[in-house]
Structure formats: structure tokens, C-alpha cells
Amino acid sequence: MDEVKLWSRGLGEFVPRLPALLNLGTHETLSQSDIDRIVATGSEMSVREAMIQALVEASRGFATTSPNPLVGCVILDREGRFLSKGFHEKFGEGHAEVQALKGLREDQLLGAHLIVTLEPCAHQGKTPSCAKKIAELPLSKVTYGLVDPNPLVAGKGAQIIRDAGIQVEEYPELKQELSEICEAFLWNQRQQKIFVAAKVATTLDGCLALKTGESQWITGEHSRYWAHELRGTYDATLVGVNTVLQDNPSLSIRHPRFEKINRVVVLDSKGRGLQRQQDLKIFSTHDKENLIWVVNKGYSHSYQGQLVEVESTENLEQVLQELWKLGLRSLLVEGGAQILSNFLKHQLVQRLYLFQAPRLLGSLAGQSWTKDLNISSLDGMLALKNLKVAPSADDFLLTGVFNDNGRTAK
């Protein structure tokens, strides 16, 4: 089987195709060869080019930084020439600014300009304060993309640097892209809730399966690879027990460009799946600590793994609250139709990924992915914002949000 070309817009190295990057044209993204050329020739880089490259850098931490945000950084010398770049690679390890500063001498930093996608942190957590470190350097300017909404940081990081005599500015452009690159973190901080994304693969007429339940496969191999990339982006994947019993999926991450052991959440009101632990792939694929089974109280069936008991699995807000207590900060809901409809009905989905194949099934044989969603008036239709469409071999992906990173949430 030929390896599918997965990197973003022809970049020569793997870059996750996150929503923040989908609208950036090829002429605005710099490959490693472009960066090498700029360094070798001493070419200048504009602040916009540097911020876009910082966005690309930020995306590289997509599978390993949670609950921290994705952050990228680029440093230009006093003449505006590229010096270095870095990103936050893993939770608990050095932040983007620290990674970009590695190996640079103090004389190289004299009068330099640091560009970073998110305001440098003011506090010390698992790592020291980036703002305090930056304040000790002979930089002339720091440009950051967004104010960090964390109350331990918000405005404080910028002020620490400003008090050291370094010019500080918030970058006025690319706000949508800057917000999207760390949208889960922004939602967590502003709402203190799990960020929920839904992924669905359908025909052009909105069918995700036959009415018999058969669904493998509607979209093509390229879309399925992309779906595995999405699983790596979120803390856990959530499905209903009907999907587990019907498809017997492993729900692991299988991708040629990265490895990650993911967590899986199964909604199973009466614990039906727990009675088939010997023959379902999901139990042999995942360690018990990474498999979270959510049941109604009294249906635990002596399960020895991660168990969440709730009054009703249909009370999704309670389910999400319990998952938050377990440390989950983002969730990819993959179905089936009833689960997807319930999340939409209760307006609990922040982002939708809709993969569509150029095929038709028809309403007589096909099962709609919103079959249990009942909206009685056109005024009540759910509307996506910040839409982006990208080709996926013969399929295409449409993605958008139902909110504005918490600013307009109910």
C-alpha cells in the first residue's frame, strides 16, 4: 500500500493539518528548505511571515502538549533576519520560547525580535516563567499573537517584559488562525469545560451507514488517515456502545508519521459492552487505564478499568463534568448517529469535522448522521462559523465551529 501524502500543502516535513493552517496559502508558508535558504543567504523575514511560521511550528506539538496550548516561536536578529524557531513539544517540558532560544549566543540576541503565538507565561509551573527569562535578554522587541486567558498570565507576562525595557506588542492580524491553533486551551480557560469536537464521515446526502449498520468504508483511505491524525489531536475519542458492538473497532491511532497511545471513552448505559470483554477488539487494544467506560449506576459488571457511573449516560453535561475530573480537556466524538445527534441537540459540540465522499446512498437504505436530531423551525438551525473546506483525495473535509472559543457560548 502506497503511503498517502499527509503533510500540509506540500511541505516537505510532516505538519498536522489543523484548522488554523487550512486557509494559509502555499505562498505564505515556509518549508524547511525555505528556512534553510533564508538562513544561508541572510534574507529578511517579515513579522507576518515569522508569525505564520510560528503557527506552523506550534502545530507540531499537536499530539503531546495537552493540557498546555500549542505555541510556536520565531526569533529574528536586529536586522530582521531569521535566527531560530521552536515549539512547545511536550507537556512538562520547555515552552516554545525556550526551544527557540536554545543554542543562541547573547550577542546574537542583541536587538533581536522574538515573535510568539501566545503571550509568554508569567508564572512558574512545571517549567520556569518564560516572561522572566525573556526579560533578562538583550532583545529589542517581543510580539505575541494572543493574550493568554489563564488568570495567572493574562497581561502579566507582557508586563514583566515591558518593565524590563523591552518593547512589547500584541500582533493585530491572523487572529482567527491564532485562536484556532490553541482553541481547546482557550475554551478550557474561559469556560472551565472540555472542548468537544465531532467527526463524521458521510455520503453527499448525509448518510454515515446503511440502515443495517454497515459503514466500512464510505470515505477513502486518505480521509481515514486524516481521521487518525485528528484522534492524535484530542485527549480522547468518544463513541457509543452501539458502534463498539456493531463495528468491533480498535479505535487506536494508526498513522505513518507519528505514534500516540490514545484514550477512549465508551457510553454504555447498561454495560452491554462490558459483558463481551473477551471478544471485542477495544479491550485487547487498550490498557485499562486508557479505556474509560461510562455506565448508568448499577451497571458496572465488576469492570476493573476506568469506570464512570452517572445517573444517566444521556445526561451528557454530567458525563463531561466527570471526564473533566479525570483530567480530560478535549474530546473527539466519533459516533454513532444517536451519540452525535445528542451532543448536537444539547449544543455541546464546539467544532465539527465533516468528511464527505462523492457518493449517494439514498434515504431508503442510508442512515442519516443526524437521524435523532429534531429541530422544529428554520430559525433553530445549528449554524457553523469560520468554515474551511479542504480536499482529501477524492473526498473533502468541511470544518467549522459552533462558537467563538467561548466568547459567545451559552
Catalytic machinery residues: 97
Q: Given the C-alpha cell 458492538, which residue does it identify?
A: 245
Of 242, 229, 230, 225, the closest CA to residue 198 belongs to 230
**DSSP-derived pairing of the beta strands 291-296 and 263-267:** parallel
Residue 243 neighbours by CB distance under 10 Å: 25
Q: By the 8 A CB rule, do 160 and 129 touch?
A: yes
Q: Supply angle C-alpha 256, 8, 143, rounded to 5.
A: 120
Nearby residues of 192 by Cβ (< 8 Å), 6 or more positions away: 324
Q: Which run of H or E residues covers position 149?
A: none
What are the φ/ψ torsions at residue 289 (nearest 5 degrees)? -70, -15
For residue 109 the three cell numbers come to: 540576541
Q: By the 8 A CB rule, do 207 and 377 touch?
A: no
**Can you spell out the DSSP letters for 346-390?**
TT--SEEEEEE-S----TTTEEETTTT----SGGG----EEEEEE
256/278 Cα distance (integer angstroms): 29
Residues in the chain: 410
Grouping H, G, I as helix, E, B as strand and the rest as coil, residue 393 is coil
